[in-house]
């Protein structure tokens, strides 16, 4: 082990004293090596709960044998999920067929919208998923997702009234370990396990990536407080998965709060850039870089990775780079882009689509009007422009041209999918828009922009801190002239 920093030594002392801990660990600050140091300094037996399977496997090779490294799902599977193995291996089926088996056989009318039985079926399954991510004991109307196009509370309430009975029926169907109409997923047995109020047998528990924890896992973890020492580690400024149910559980957790702020990934110049976004995100830490790493910030001609804000931005970058003759990889493949292109193809040919974001639109023209004129549809305008410019076929052809990362000249990724990764040279794509101007003006008559939202600041922080040696701010360069940034 390298010589611990003062912050790592303080964490080790607090752990040795038996305190529950929250470790705010900035990008590249050695959180895993710190946890290994804590575990190696005791003979007690512990558990490490990892964010995903690959992280758990890597940790199992590095932690002492006294620490069992698993994902939360693997822990739940060993306790309860194994009873549902037969159903986990069941073949995929269209959601409308599942809905049909649950009794969804007709469309309904809500306001000016016809909601098809297919859309109802999708919504029922999404309702069950949202319940599984929550800490709630019972499934109720709050778990029914909003549908684009249902603009009033009354319309949403009508949807919830229609969906909830079928969602309750779907959850009951999932309790049968042998057979059922609903395809059994890993989140289902995790929720079932959580509802048993399980006791995890360990002297201490490490929860990694705690800022992205779903409430269901937070509930299980916190319930171990009376018999196990709890250690949360993560970075509140990297809490970027709120849209899928995760929330930052670190800030308000009852424990000793410590920090890891020296980044071993990049040098001082990039740390300065990171701190601007940490300020805007109202984060509890600021970073220092490693002096011996000469990270540059400036224009890049040949980046190793281009990071985008949205899937639409990633699609645009892929098309541009392929047109320039580059071999391009897309992080985690092109399934998301394919789904969007096929949805556009359906709408342009006059068919409804099953894409969950676009199910209420009857035609491409209706989607164009929504994106152009409805304030709630502005985020779809880049998608509409892209399809109108290139067409769905060109997008599908581009996906077919993608190569794997090992043989690519450049990898394109969204910032969300880049989380936890790093590259030598990173460029930020152009789809990170600056805040809109307000009606107010400064002393020189220039419009004063709106404040940067904490959500946007956190995503920007994640994106720029993926670089080790060179960062091109690209679409985030507007930060240099924003009046709220030091």
Mean pLDDT throughout 367-394? 82
Choice among 223-227, 310-314, 346-350, 442-446 with the minimum mean pLDDT? 442-446
> How far is Cα of residue 472 from the mean position of the Cα atoms in its chain?
23
**Which value, in Å, is the radius of gyration of the alpha carbons in the chain?**
24
pLDDT band (50, 70, 90) for residue 205? very high
**What confidence score (pLDDT) does residue 244 get?**
59
Q: What single DSSP character describes residue 480? A: G
Q: Where are the alpha helices (DSSP H) in 404-444?
A: 415-418
Query: Which sign does the torsion angle of CA 385, 478, 270, 276 carry?
Result: negative
Buried b (16+ CB within 10 A) or exposed e, 199-225: ebebebbbbbbbbbbbbbbbbbbbebe
Least confident among 93-102, 423-432, 455-464: 93-102
Q: If you search the block for the tokens 């002492």, which residue do you land on?
A: 64
The residue that leads in pLDDT, 289 or 249, is 289
pLDDT at 8 over 90: yes
Q: What is the pLDDT of residues 141-191, one digit of tens each?
A: 999 998 877 878 899 999 999 999 999 999 999 999 999 999 899 999 999
Split at pLDDT 50, 70, 90, the class of 438 is confident
Residue 374 has pLDDT above 90, yes or no: no
Mean pLDDT of the chain: 90
pLDDT for 76-108, tens place per residue?
A: 999 999 999 989 877 767 788 899 999 999 999
Mean pLDDT of 470-478: 96
How far is Cα 164 from Cα 149, in angstroms, rounded to an integer?
A: 19
User: Would the pTM of this model clear 0.85, i.e. be above it?
Assistant: no
* Residues 193/70, Cβ–Cβ less than 8 Å: no
3-state secondary structure of 308: strand
> pLDDT above 70 covers what percent of the chain?
97
What's the pLDDT band for 375 if we cut at 50, 70, 90?
A: low
Per-residue pLDDT of 288-325, as tens digits, reads: 999 999 999 999 999 999 999 988 889 889 999 998 99
User: Which H or E run contains 455?
Assistant: helix 454-464
Residue listed under structure tokens 């220092």:
288
Residue 334: CB partners within 8 Å, gap ≥ 6? 399, 402
Give the closest residue to 292 by CA, choosing from 58, 37, 2. Answer: 2
φ, ψ (nearest 5 deg) of residue 360: -90, 0
Q: State the helix-helix crossing angle for 381-390 and 335-348, rounded to 10 degrees.
A: 70
Q: In sequence order, what are the beta bridge partners of 206?
A: 48, 231
User: pLDDT category, 448, cuts 50, 70, 90?
Assistant: confident
Identify the three-state secondary structure at position 86: helix
Instruction: With CA atoms as reference, report the closest residue to 22 among 32, 6, 13, 11.
Output: 11
Angle, alpha carbons 143-418-474 (nearest 5°)? 115
Please give the Cα distance from 238 to 468 (Å, whole number). Answer: 17
Measure the CA–CA gap between 89 and 111, rounded to whole angstroms. 40
């Amino acid at each position: 082990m390298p010589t611990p920093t003062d912050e790592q030594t303080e964490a080790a002392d607090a752990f040795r004293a038996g305190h529950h801990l929250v470790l705010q660990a900035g990008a590249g600050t050695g959180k895993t090596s710190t946890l290994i140091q804590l575990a190696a300094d005791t003979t007690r037996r512990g558990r490490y709960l990892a964010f995903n399977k690959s992280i758990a496997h890597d940790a199992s090779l590095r932690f002492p044998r006294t620490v069992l490294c698993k994902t939360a799902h693997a822990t739940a599977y060993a306790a309860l999920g194994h009873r549902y193995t037969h159903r986990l291996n069941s073949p995929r089926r269209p959601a409308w067929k599942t809905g049909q088996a649950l009794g969804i056989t007709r469309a309904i009318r809500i306001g000016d919208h016809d909601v098809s039985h297919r859309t109802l079926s999708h919504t029922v399954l999404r309702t069950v998923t949202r319940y599984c991510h929550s800490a709630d004991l019972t499934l109720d109307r709050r778990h029914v997702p909003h549908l684009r196009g249902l603009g009033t509370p009354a319309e949403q309430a009508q949807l919830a009234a229609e969906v909830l009975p079928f969602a309750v029926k779907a959850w009951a169907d999932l309790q049968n370990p042998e057979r059922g109409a609903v395809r059994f997923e890993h989140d289902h047995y995790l929720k079932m396990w959580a509802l048993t109020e399980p006791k995890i047998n360990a002297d201490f528990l490490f929860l990694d990536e705690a800022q992205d924890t779903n409430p269901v896992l937070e509930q299980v973890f916190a319930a171990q407080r009376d018999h196990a020492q709890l250690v949360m580690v993560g970075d509140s400024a990297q809490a970027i998965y709120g849209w899928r149910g995760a929330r930052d559980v670190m800030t308000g957790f009852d424990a000793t709060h410590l920090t890891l702020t020296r980044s071993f990934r990049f040098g001082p110049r990039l740390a300065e850039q990171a701190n601007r976004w940490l300020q805007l995100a109202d984060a509890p830490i600021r970073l220092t870089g490693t002096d011996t790493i000469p990270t540059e910030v400036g224009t890049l001609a040949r980046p190793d990775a281009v990071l985008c804000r949205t899937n639409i931005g990633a699609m645009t970058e892929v098309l541009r780079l392929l047109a320039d003759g580059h071999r391009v990889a897309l992080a985690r493949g092109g399934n998301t882009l394919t789904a969007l292109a096929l949805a556009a193809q359906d709408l342009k040919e006059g068919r409804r689509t099953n894409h969950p974001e676009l199910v209420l639109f009857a035609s491409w023209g209706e989607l164009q009007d929504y994106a152009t004129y409805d304030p709630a549809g502005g985020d779809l305008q880049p998608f509409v422009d892209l399809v109108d410019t290139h067409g769905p076929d060109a997008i599908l052809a581009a996906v077919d041209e993608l190569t794997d990362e090992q043989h690519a000249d450049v990898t394109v990724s969204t910032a969300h999918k880049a989380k936890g990764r790093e590259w030598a040279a990173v460029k930020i794509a152009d789809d990170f828009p600056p805040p809109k101007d307000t009606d107010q003006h400064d002393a020189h008559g220039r419009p004063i922009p709106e404040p940067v939202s904490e959500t946007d600041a956190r995503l920007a922080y994640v994106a720029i801190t993926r670089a080790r040696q060179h960062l091109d701010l690209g679409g985030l360069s507007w930060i240099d002239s924003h009046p709220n940034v030091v």
